[in-house]
Structure 1
Amino acid sequence: MSNDSVQLAPPENEEGKTSPLQNPRVRRILLIAVAVLLIGAVLGFLRYHLYGRFQQSTNDAYVQADAVIAAPKVSGYVDQVFVIENQAVKAGQPLVRIDPRDYRAQAAQFQAQIDVASANAAGVDAEMGEQQAAIARAEADVAAAAADAAFAQAEYVRYQPLAESGAETREKLSQLRNQAALANAKLSAAKASLASAQRRVGTLRAQVRQAQAQGEAARAQLAAASTNVEATIVRASVDGRIGDKTVRQGQFVQAGTRMMSVVPTRDVYIEANFKETQLGLMRVGQPVKVEVDALPGVDIPGRIASISPGTGAQFSVLPPQNATGNFTKIVQRVPIRIAISPGPETRALLVPGMSVEVTVDTRSAKGAADRVREEQERHNARVVR
């Protein structure tokens, strides 16, 4: 065999086969794969740097709604229940009726008190008219007594010189003097009667005001009783669906007793509990993507509506007191309320308590951390100086 033929023979491995790396097609495929991986890595890094690192997500989130508790304002036996569990209701729709007979009787009693007060006021008004006539009669008596007193005094003055000259007897003069004194006494009595009649008017006016005040008090009580009669029908305060109904016909309920809840399913929102380490760039109004576990593949748009002023632990029934025992640092979570905009069909499927996964886009605040840091450094410098 010649040397040329030996050089032209392809190299063989230990098993006598040709290496795949010697194949130009394989080398091209490997180069393309490496290039694709490098490009994918660069694109992934750019995507994370420009987008991914600003996405904050949590699965500690749930659909919520501000349910309204239906409770009676008055106590009594339940006469009728108008709704069933899970029923849709409108605002103002009757839910429960409490036996109204006792409250209607109270309203009738207060109406009777109003009538009595009105009758008393009318009676005093009639007495006022009679008293005005008595005053007029007393004034006439005063006028007559005044005329008699004036005449008697004039007669006494006229006969006094005659008696002194002897033209008339002293007995006649004494008689005229007594008549004048009697007439003056009658005048004083008539004036006293007039004053008494006039004062009686003030007393009657006070009685009228008292009757009117009693009537006003009875009207106020009637208004309260009428309100109680209206309150015997418990109505829905919002549109929604009935849930957790515990009331039954014939049951005695106290005022304020929880009978059922009205869940406003059209006004649902999301309450997401984010770690405190995720809140640095979160701001009200930032866009949110919501994925409901019950609706896989359905993304619901939303926005941050508000951020809680404290962590969930601070508003618990028993807030933690870390100074009273051994301390273990735990990452706290802060509730964030998210307003959502689902379609009509999606909204009909959302029920409070459903689990969701929430992702917040915080790119709108990507420079906020640097601004906060710079502002704090300036503040520290001013404090040191």
Structure 2
Amino acid sequence: MTLPKNFVPLAAAAVVVLALAVGGGFWWIDKQRHEGTDNAFVQADKVTVAPQVDGYIAEVLVEDNSPVTAGQVVARIDPAPFRARLAQAEANAQALQAAVRGVDDRARLEQAMIAQKAAGLASASAQADLAAAELERYGHLATQGWVSPQRAQTARAAATQASAGVAEARAGLEAERRAAESLGSTRAQTLAQAQAALATVEQARIDLDRTEIRAPASGVVGARSVRPGQYVRPGSALMSVVPLGEAYVVANFKETQVARLRIGQPVTITADAFGKRKIKGRIESFAPATGSEFALIPVENAVGNFTKIAQRLPVKIAVDADSPLAGALRPGLSVKVKVDVTADTGPSFAEAQAPRRHAQQGQARQEP
């Protein structure tokens, strides 16, 4: 039995058509069940370590890529100037506190002086009463001729002198009272200065404590640029701390894909760094705008010729902590994600903002 000459090409064509049909079928079925993209990257909420005071770095206690815990000292600024400022502030505060005590001592002295002046006024008043009585008695006797006019004049002068003594004692008492009142405002002013000095002491103590630069979060040190002897200023970046165990994935899906996505849908993540090993995750949230809206120079579509280009929406994907490679993800790695869109879990992209909008509208209606 001889085969036709064109049997081999026809058989090959049939095999190719069958393979395309089978492959197309699998592709179609997979496309119905999944949405995927390779425009995805690993990110983490890295924290920049920066000093809060200026000075020269005396010691760096961590190396590149070394793990740290929250609150761990990673570097020290030379504390000598800050200790001197603290000592100066404490001495100033002690001096002002002593000044407050001095004002209190003067106030107690003024109270004693007021009592003395009040007693002097009482004595002068008694002398004035006695002199007035003497003047009245000698005046009657002088009119009857029983005493000489000179004696009556002497009694009159003594009465006048006693009245002047009363006025002087009263003025002295009033002066002491006014001096005591002025001490009240002096004490308030000195006390305010002492409190300001104590605040300066506290600030100096805080600055001294801030010479120890601590890690704000647990993670791994990266981008370390600080060296011993370097002069640093507040806010300058010394290093970054990356919390590797808290990495997540941001996948940029086309706007034609997000209609089928829902919060909570399972996601399969693959990274070139791990070969074919897979990491599990789930959709956590949708970005409030497309990526182009957050660009430094947003695209202006209202000018020139317009060509419609499918925009991409960032979708945050949380990595399952139980995945073996969850702690191995490094921010910046590119990954591929595939979402199982058949899972009917949380709200869809269109529904995700609806509860928040309704809540805001209800709150606006409740406000008067």
TM-score when scaled to structure 1?
0.80
> How much does 1:363 deviate?
2.9
Cα deviation, 1:272-316, whole Å, max 9, x if unaligned, reads 111111111323222222122222332222111111111111101
Paired residues of 2:40 and 2:335 also in contact (CA < 8 A): yes
SS of residue matched to 1:150 = helix
Paired residues of 1:156 and 1:173 also in contact (CA < 8 A): yes
> How much does 1:46 deviate?
12
Once the two structures are superposed, the pairs formed by residues 154-169 of structure 1 within 5 Å of their partners are: 154-169=133-148
Paired residues of 2:270 and 2:277 also in contact (CA < 8 A): yes
Q: 1:315 to 1:174 in 2, by over 3 A?
A: same
Q: Are 1:111 and 2:90 matched, yes or no? A: yes
Q: Distance in 2 between matches of 1:327 and 1:107?
A: 66
Paired residues of 1:282 and 1:365 also in contact (CA < 8 A): no
Paired residues of 1:65 and 1:352 also in contact (CA < 8 A): yes
- Matched with 1:179 is 158
Once the two structures are superposed, the pairs formed by residues 47-58 of structure 1 within 5 Å of their partners are: 48=29, 52-58=31-37
> How much does 1:220 deviate?
0.8
> How much does 1:18 deviate?
9.4
Amino acid at match of 1:128: A
> How much does 1:55 deviate?
1.7
> How much does 1:360 deviate?
1.8
SS of residue matched to 2:87 = helix
Q: Distance in 1 between matches of 2:295 and 2:63?
A: 33
Q: Distance in 2 between matches of 1:347 and 1:75?
A: 38
Paired residues of 1:238 and 1:262 also in contact (CA < 8 A): yes
Q: Distance in 1 between matches of 2:254 and 2:305?
A: 22
- Matched with 1:382 is none
Q: Are 1:204 and 2:169 matched, yes or no? A: no
- Matched with 2:337 is 358
> How much does 1:364 deviate?
4.6
> How much does 1:228 deviate?
1.0
Q: Are 1:309 and 2:272 matched, yes or no? A: no
Paired residues of 1:60 and 1:357 also in contact (CA < 8 A): yes
1:325 to 292, 304, 308: 304
Q: Are 1:275 and 2:240 matched, yes or no? A: no
Identify the range of structure 1 (182-191 vs 122-131) with the bigger mean alpha-carbon deviation: 122-131
Q: Distance in 2 between matches of 1:62 and 1:18?
A: 56
Q: Distance in 2 between matches of 1:325 and 1:227?
A: 58
Paired residues of 1:281 and 1:365 also in contact (CA < 8 A): no
Q: Are 1:88 and 2:63 matched, yes or no? A: no
Once the two structures are superposed, the pairs formed by residues 1-385 of structure 1 within 5 Å of their partners are: 48=29, 52-343=31-322, 345-364=324-343
Which has the higher Rg, Structure 1 or Structure 2?
1
Amino acid at match of 1:69: T
Q: 1:342 to 1:168 in 2, by over 3 A?
A: closer
Q: Distance in 2 between matches of 1:45 and 1:293?
A: 24
Q: Distance in 1 between matches of 2:124 and 2:232?
A: 76
Q: Distance in 2 between matches of 1:96 and 1:88?
A: 14
> How much does 1:344 deviate?
6.5
> How much does 1:365 deviate?
5.5
Q: 1:44 to 1:326 in 2, by over 3 A?
A: closer
Q: Distance in 2 between matches of 1:283 and 1:252?
A: 51
> How much does 1:62 deviate?
1.2
- Count residues with an aligned counterpart: 335
Q: 1:106 to 1:190 in 2, by over 3 A?
A: same
- Matched with 2:354 is none
Q: Distance in 1 between matches of 2:60 and 2:270?
A: 38
Amino acid at match of 1:275: K
SS of residue matched to 2:269 = strand
Q: Distance in 1 between matches of 2:74 and 2:312?
A: 39
Q: 1:274 to 1:193 in 2, by over 3 A?
A: same
SS of residue matched to 2:261 = coil
> How much does 1:108 deviate?
1.1
Q: 1:347 to 1:45 in 2, by over 3 A?
A: closer
- Matched with 1:4 is none
> How much does 1:247 deviate?
1.1
The answer for unaligned runs of 5 or more in structure 1 is: 1-15, 20-32, 373-385
> How much does 1:267 deviate?
0.5
